[in-house]
Amino acid sequence: MTKRIAALTMVRNDEFYLRKWTAWYGAQLGEENLYIYLDGTDQPLPDWCPKAHVTAVEKIPGQVVQAEKHRLKFLSEAAAGLFKNGYDLVIGTDADEFLIVDPKRGQTLAEYLSEADIDVSLSGLGVDVGQHLGEEGDIREDEPFLSQRHYAHLCTRYTKPSVLAGPYSWGSGFHRVKGHNFHIGKDLFLFHFGYFDMGRIQARFADKDRAAAGWTSHLKKRSRTIRYCTSLPKHDWDETVGPVRILESILRPPYAWNKPGLLELRIIVRIPERFWQLV
């Protein structure tokens, strides 16, 4: 039986990703099961996703760390409300993150999650998509992202407990569930596209809202994904993702037992063609 599954996110002035997020999760779960929160009542409600539940809320104040804690507290409470309204599972991601089942399984996301035995949460293996400078040009909005970007960093930062099976609390950035361990689903991946285009990263440096909130140094760090995808050796996806999933499931960083670790390994993979038309 297919479970009732919702997906939620929060954005500010980010229609580029929100359109893609809404298209992906709407196709997988039904647009009527999407819950979108706009960070600030100064933002217009989109008219291109009529079935989604879109709410503009008061802008969350503070610098990056403080604001992020408040944001995830808000979204965790929103998820708890969705469980009260009859949902079996709630997916929480940023608008540039896409939970994807390996196409070789021939399943939609809803089918995969409906079959999965989820106690508290479920994570997809983190896939931080980059840009190979000199080989891949500027991203085009009218083509699938993965038809234009074929390399990624297998990154613990994006192995997030994105799927909740009950009213638990996410930590900042959806990176953990407070007080609980995590489980990485086989053939389930969280693709992150936030830093997959050098031109867009440079444009973000000029965003006054992000600069005022202290995001400049954070954004500069993220260009390293592009550096890794350009310069480091590339590994075969199918030979690599399984062992990395096992390592991340076993290893822990010393500062957080309920987050995955990978001993600072920088593993770059080639994304298989079977993914190229998905997002």
pLDDT over 70 (residue 207): no
* Residue span of the structural domain in which 91 resides: 5-275
Q: What's the pLDDT tens digit per position in 170-197?
A: 999 999 999 999 999 999 999 999 999 9
Q: What's the pLDDT tens digit per position in 33-89?
A: 999 999 999 989 999 999 999 999 998 877 677 888 999 999 999 999 999 999 999
200 or 19: which leads in pLDDT: 19
Strand pairing of 234-236 and 268-270? parallel
pLDDT over 60 (residue 215): no
pLDDT over 60 (residue 265): yes
Q: How many domains does the chain have?
A: 1
Which CATH number fits the domain that encloses residue 242? 3.90.550
pLDDT over 80 (residue 217): no
Q: What's the pLDDT tens digit per position in 136-158?
A: 999 999 999 999 999 999 999 99
Kindly state the percentage of the chain with pLDDT values over 90: 82
Give the Cα separation of 268 and 265 in Å (integer).
Answer: 10
